[in-house]
Structure 1
Amino acid sequence: MKHRIYEQKIFMLCHSNISTKFHNIRKWKSRIYGESIKL
């Protein structure tokens, strides 16, 4: 039972890492587009 909780925690951690990575990529892209629009 404890093992299952541990697995779930790892899964949640990995999932949140992936979503934050995607969010960072989107932020980075919007920043580049913002700079190009300014220029």
Structure 2
Amino acid sequence: MPFPLLKSPLVAWTMWSILGEKNSAKIWIKLAIEFFVMEH
């Protein structure tokens, strides 16, 4: 993952928790888009 935010254990844990939820695909996609916008 290219996100520098993964350097934060809390953020990484949150991301992995979301990825672990089968019904959170839309949430994960939303977060990915928001991070992409923030990075650019």
Q: What is the TM-score with the length of structure 2 in the denominator?
A: 0.44
Q: Between Structure 1 and Structure 2, whose CA radius of gyration is higher?
A: 1
**Which is bigger in relative contact order (C-alpha 8 A, separation at least 6)?**
2
Q: What is the TM-score with the length of structure 1 in the denominator?
A: 0.45
